[in-house]
Amino acid sequence: MNAASFNEIFDSVVTEYHRNDDIYGKCPNPYGPGSLEFLLFGKCWTDSVQWHLEDIIRDPDIEPGKALEIKRWIDRSNQERTDMVEYIDSYLLEYFKDVKPCAGARVNTETPAWAIDRLSILALKIYHMRDQASRKDASGEHIRKCQAKLAVLLQQREDLTTSINELLDDIASGRKYMKVYKQMKMYNDPNLNPVLYDKNKGMKDA
């Protein structure tokens, strides 16, 4: 298990998405359900769609009805992204279940999947910054700034890839162990969001 292979999957997803650049396109996941690769591909596809939803919602001329549709789509996407991170962590918990922690083993500040989540987003940032750095209709200043930002993003991905590999190695050797807390988002739960449960109560009382 190597984070460099995660980057290869994420880059392939971003490239595949941009073949049609269609937010309504179906995820063409080539991996078998239940595999880590399947989860990583699906996670990055969701990230890719949301990246473009975030662009669309910022159009100052967007129709109000369209804006509401996109905003609710983003809300659903955020929940899906969180769920998929937790699926990846669940996979890794199972993968490392037989590792016995060493005496004094520590918990990391974040789980492997949340660090992997940042790799997925970096793949999108790198793709789009590279695109900006090669624009023919932009000024030289714009190109130079984007090239500098691209260099930082590439270094950031290299550092994060190394850190994830070190974390996975620490877990595999028992120097660290995984402890996963569910995000427990409240605003999508009709039993926890007061706007939703008050509305549901009002409908029942009517």
Q: Give dist(CA 50, CA 23) in Å, integer.
A: 8
With helix as H, strand as E and coil as C, how does 22-84 read? CCCCCCCCCCCCCCHHHHHHHHHHHHHHHHHHHHHHCCCCCCHHHHHHHHHHHHHHHHHHHHH
Q: Give dist(CA 138, CA 132) in Å, integer.
A: 8
Q: Which 8-state DSSP code applies to residue 174? A: T
- 103: its two tokens: 């005496």
Statement: residue 164 has pLDDT above 70: yes
Among residues 73, 68, 81, the alpha carbon closest in space to that of 52 is found at 73
pLDDT (average), residues 65-78: 95
Q: Can you give the pLDDT at residue 182? A: 67
Who has greater pLDDT, 180 or 124?
124
Distance of CA 49 to the CA centre of its chain: 11
Q: Can you give the pLDDT at residue 205? A: 54
Helix (H, G, I), strand (E, B) or coil at 176: strand
Asked if 194 and 200 count as a contact pair (C-beta separation under 8 A), the reply is: no
Q: Can you give the pLDDT at residue 116? A: 97
Query: pTM for the complete prediction?
Result: 0.86
Q: Give dist(CA 157, CA 163) in Å, integer.
A: 10
Q: Give dist(CA 152, CA 5) in Å, integer.
A: 21
**pLDDT tens digits, 26-57:** 999 999 999 999 999 999 999 999 999 999 99
pLDDT (average), residues 175-180: 88
Give how far Cα 37 sits from Cα of 27, 42, 70, 148, 162, Å.
14, 8, 28, 32, 19
Q: Can you give the pLDDT at residue 93? A: 93
Per-residue pLDDT band at 180 (split at 50, 70, 90): confident
Statement: residue 186 has pLDDT above 80: no
